[in-house]
Amino acid sequence: MNATTGRHGKPVHLAVYDTLADWETGHAAAQLARAGHEIRTVGPSTTPVRSVGGLRVQPDLALDNVRPEDSALLILPGADLWDTGESLAPFARKARAFLDAGVPVAAICGATAGLAREGLLDDRDHTSAVSFYLAATGYAGAGRYVETDAVTDGTLITAGPTEPVAFAREILRLLGVYEGEVLDAWYRLFHDSDGQAYGVLEKAGAL
């Protein structure tokens, strides 16, 4: 393992910005890190940001220095700022560059609205908090909206703010961390508090 990339090669990039929703990416980031993926935080710059919960986060690198070819995945959490101006629009544009390069993007809550404004949901199945939240962006993808916990369409994952575990499930599936009954057990344990799922994970060495 090397300190730059970890045993899985390219790092996962987790966007961080003021007012980011702390709860939305915790399951995904923690499980990816436990599985050996390096998590690198990406801010508008390297100036510290503060989450909606008041946590101070020092970004590892600035958005301008992130290239799709150097990444395994870009994760975009929700934040109040997605709906209060254009300050986070560069992250949506970066998501476009990732998707154009065939590199996965995972967006939850307000970040889905940012992708909608960027036109990235017009031709992809997706979900969010509620359909009318995205409709308010004026995007052209309403016909591709799916009423479910989380959606994967090719290399794009979307979810609403109340589904951080389902969001993580789709990320873990896409990156091949877990699959089949192990992935199902992981979801049942953390989403449903299903004690029987613990045994499946323990037997698989997934704890």
For 73, other C-beta atoms within 10 Å of its C-beta total: 23
Packing angle, helices 110-117 and 89-100, rounded to 10: 70
CB 31 within 8 A of CB 172: yes
Listing from the earlier edge strand, what are the strands of the sheet with 12-15? 61-62, 39-43, 12-15, 73-76, 105-108, 156-159, 150-153
Q: Would you please indicate which residues are annotated as catalytic (active-site) residues? A: 109
- Could you give the angle at the alpha carbon of 30 between the alpha carbons of 182 and 44, nearest 5°? 135
Give residue 193's region: left, alpha or beta (phi > 0; psi -120 to 50): left
Contact 143, 136 (CB under 8 A): no
16 Cβ neighbours under 8 A, 6+ residues apart: 41, 42, 43, 49, 51, 57, 59, 77
- CA 82/CA 109 separation, integer angstroms: 9
Q: Three-state DSSP class for 54?
A: coil
